[in-house]
Structure 1
Amino acid sequence: MSRVIHVFRQPERFVAGTVGEPGDRSFYLQAAEQARTVSVLLEKQQVSVLAERISALLAEVARRFGAEESTPAETADLDPLIVPLEEEFRVGTMGLGWDSDSRSIVVELLAVTEEEVDESVVLDDTEEGPDALRVFLSPVQARAFADRAELVVSAGRPPCPLCAEPLDAQGHVCVRLNGYRQRTTAGE
């Protein structure tokens, strides 16, 4: 079966979002253009890394080409994910680049596969390889995506101040405390 590449050249929306409660959330990226919507599932860490890399690429593009990096407040997309939410695939490999012709940041998300992904498949239209979602974003759209993605990631459980692992409502066994807990006794 040949590869399916979902291309969004002028997306009306490209956002990160979640389904579920903190500690049990599923993370999605969703692209929408006209009546077409594609949603892909990925890990929280992947969302965080993508937001960081987009921010770094925006800074580099602004430095080299003078492209706009700021985000007007009115471009912030705080709406929930579009439903029904149908996962197209789970993301394995992510690619990121700058297309100087369209002055766009290109995000490519490839499906998880059993085989190792050759980097030549990323941002390429070859017939062989994993399914992909390719989205072209203006610098303003890319900044809005990165800002929202950072909010989505940070909206989870707060980190432990000692080990940075997420704190659970049921309690937290911190590795930095080495299994010991401070004891309190009555009468002291």
Structure 2
Amino acid sequence: MGPVPQTVHTFDWPDRLVIGTVGRPGSRTFYLQVRAGTRLLSVALEKEQSAALVEKIDELLDELMDTEGNRFSVPERVPAELVDNDALDQPVEEQFRVGIMGLGWDPSTAQLVIEAVPAQPVDPQTLEPVGPEPEEALVVRIPVGAARAFAERTREVVAAGRPLCPRCGEPMDPDGHVCELPDDLR
């Protein structure tokens, strides 16, 4: 990554960190939302980014659990008191749309570190970023139990989209679906 962004929204041990959606299945917008006291910040991201983040969180937590002599007590299951199925906090105001996300581990505080920077326009020929470096970033630090709860909720949110067509496997809209399978496969 290039120069350090001018504004870094940092949340250490936030009161709440969730991914939720706004809109109907098929046209949902995904948000990563973090709250600490009265501070509330929401960033928009893609469904695929949400799913990839959870996959990486699970991998990291499982790796920590399997590490010989690991002094961090990583829960295998979500502690019941950390389950959060509530809707996003209102108002949902998009701070920025996420371009790149990073995930790390801070052994000094036994926390996962999630970083997100805004999407940048890219040159269609070279796929290199064009324009100025992002001016802001989001950094969230959460303990392992909260990370398990965040991952489980996010998996449920990602899976709660449109049902898949039993024939072609594509998502079906509430108002109908045109199956794109060739005639010989129907």
**Counterpart Cα distance in 1 of 2:58 and 2:141:** 15
- Say whether 1:79 aligns with 2:94: no
Structure 2 equivalent of residue 47 of structure 1: 50
1:178 aligns with 2:178: no
Contact 2:8 2:138 in 1 (8 A): yes
Q: Percent of aligned pairs with the same residue? A: 46
Q: Does 1:58 align with 2:65?
A: no
- Seen in structure 2, the aligned counterparts of structure 1 residues 181 and 15 have a Cα distance that, compared at 3 Å, is same
Q: TM-score, normalised by structure 2?
A: 0.84
Please tell me whether residue 67 in structure 1 is matched to residue 73 in structure 2.
yes
Is 2:36 the partner of 1:17? no
Does residue 146 of structure 1 match 2:161? no
Offset at residue 106 of structure 1 (A): 0.5
Aligned to 1:32: 35
* Structure 2 spans left out of the alignment, 5+ residues: 123-127
Q: Secondary structure at the match of 1:14?
A: strand
1:96 maps to 2:100: no
- 1:59, 1:181 → 2: CA distance? 40
1:107 matched residue in structure 2 = 114
1:180 CA drift (Å): 6.8
CA, structure 1 residues 36+179, in 2 after alignment: closer, same or farther (shift >3 Å)? farther
**CA RMSD, 1 decimal:** 2.0
CA distance in 2, matches of 1:44, 1:163: 21
Report the AA paired with residue 86 of structure 2.
Answer: D
Among 134, 154, 161, the alignment partner of 2:166 is: 161
- 1:58 corresponds to which letter in structure 2? L
Separation (CA, whole Å) in 2 of partners of 1:136 and 1:130 = 20
Please give the secondary structure, in 2, of the residue aligned with 1:60: helix
- Normalization by structure 1: what TM-score? 0.83
Amino acid at match of 1:132: A
Q: Which one of the candidate residues 133, 142, 157 is aligned to 1:137?
A: 142
| Alignment gaps of 5+ in structure 1 | 118-127, 183-188
